[in-house]
Copies of this chain bind each other. A is one copy, B any other.
Amino acid sequence: MSEVYAARRARLRERCAAAGGEAALVCGDANVRYLAGGAPPGAVLLLGPGSDGDDALVCVSDPFVDATGASRPGDGLAVVVLPTPEGDPAVAAAERAAERGVRSLAVEEHHLTVARHRAVRSVAPRLRLGDLGTAVEQQRVVKDDEEISTLRIAAEIADQALGELLESILVGRTERHLALELERRLIDHGADGAAFPTSVGAGPHSGRAGHVPTDRRVEEGDFLSVCLGADYRGYRSEIARTFVIGASPAEWQIELYEQVFAAQRAGREALAPGAAYRDVDRAARVVLEAAGHGERVGPRIGHGVGLENDEDPRLAPSAMGKLDACVPVTVDPGVHLPGRGGVRIDDTLVVRPEADGGPELLTITTKELLAL
C-alpha cells in the first residue's frame, strides 16, 4: 500500500514543480491522509523535491529531533509532522524546509488560517510562500480501484444497517433513538464510525436535508426519511431512503415519492464520463421543477464522496467541470413540504462508461416505496 501513497506524492511533486514550487506543505486533514496514509487530525505533510525513487516518508513529532534519518541532502523529503499541544506542526515543517535550503514553499491557503500563515512566514522569512490551491483535492476526485473497493464496503455496511432497522418495530420510537441504533449497527457491521451524523426525520421533519434527529416519535401515516453512511477505513458512503409508516400511503405521499424517485433516477442516468456537473444537476432538477417543486429543491443534486463525506465535484447549477470515469458521487434530491414532510432518496454511485455498464450503484437498498 505504501507505493500507492508514494505514487500520489510523485504526482503532486510533478504538479508542484510544473508550477515553479520547490516544496509543498499540505495541511488539510483529508489531503494529508490521502498522501501519507493514516495520520491523525492536525498533522501536516511537508513534501520536498525528490524523484519517485528516493521518496522516504517519515512520521515525526519534532522534525528536528526525529527526522534525521531522512534528512540527508538530496533525499526525497516527505515528512508527516504530528500535532503537539505546544506548537504548530506547519510552523515546524516550514522551519525545517528552510533549514534544508528550500527556497519556495506552496501552502494550502484555503486550509491555513491567516494567523498560522503569518507564523510560518515569521519562522522562515526567506522562504517564498506560494499557494498550492486545491491541487490535492483535485487529485483526489478520480479514485483508484482500491479506493472504490473500500467505498463499496462502506456502502454495503450502510445497506446492512438500514436493512436491519427496517425489520424492527418503528412506531413509537424517537428519531434520536433510531439514529443512534443505526450508528450502532454501522459499527456492528465493521464501520469505523458514522460517515456523518445520521439523520432521521419523521412526519413533518421527513425529507429535510441534514435534519438533526429530535424526540419526535414515529407515528402511523408518517413519512420517515433516513440518511446515513459508514466510514470504512476513512472512506465514506452515503444513502438516504424514505418510507411510509402504516398500511397504505396517502395519495399525496405516493405522488411526491414518485416525483422525487423520477428526479433521482434522471440524475443517476445522467452520470457518464464527460457529462457536465451542471447537466447532472439539471437532469434531476427539471423533473422536480415540472412537478412544481422548483423552489423546494436544494442548491445541488449531489456531490463527491471519498475521504470526506462531501468533496469535489459538486453537482450544482453553477458548478464548472465534467465527470470522469471512476468518480464516486451521490445523487440525493429531496423535497420537503413545510408542515407535512417530504421525501429524500440518495445513492452513492461510481461513474463508469456506457461500455462498462454505466454508473455503478454502490448502495443497493430498494427504492420502492415501502410501507412499514
Contact = CB atoms under 8 A, between A and B. Distances in A.
Nearest to A115: B110
A112 B113 CA distance: 5
A294 interface: no
Interface in A165-206: 176-177, 180, 183-184, 187
Contacts of A180: 180, 183-184, 187
Interface in A307-365: 314, 316, 318
A110 to B, nearest CB: 4
A44 to B, nearest CB: 14
Interface string A7-42: 000000000000000000000000000000000000
Size range of the interface on A? 20 to 34
A73 interface: no
A299 interface: yes
Contacts of A113: 109-114
A300 interface: yes
Nearest to A84: B299
A21 to B, nearest CB: 16
A117 interface: yes
A86 interface: yes
A112 to B, nearest CB: 6
Interface in A85-131: 85-86, 107, 109-118, 131
A316 B115 CA distance: 22
A180 B191 CA distance: 13
Contacts of A84: 299
A93 to B, nearest CB: 16
Contacts of A131: 114-115
A176 B314 CA distance: 34
Nearest to A116: B110
A180 B180 CA distance: 9
Interface of A: 84-86, 107, 109-118, 131, 176-177, 180, 183-184, 187, 298-300, 314, 316, 318
Closest 7 CB pairs of A and B: A109-B114, A110-B115, A85-B299, A109-B115, A114-B117, A180-B184, A110-B113
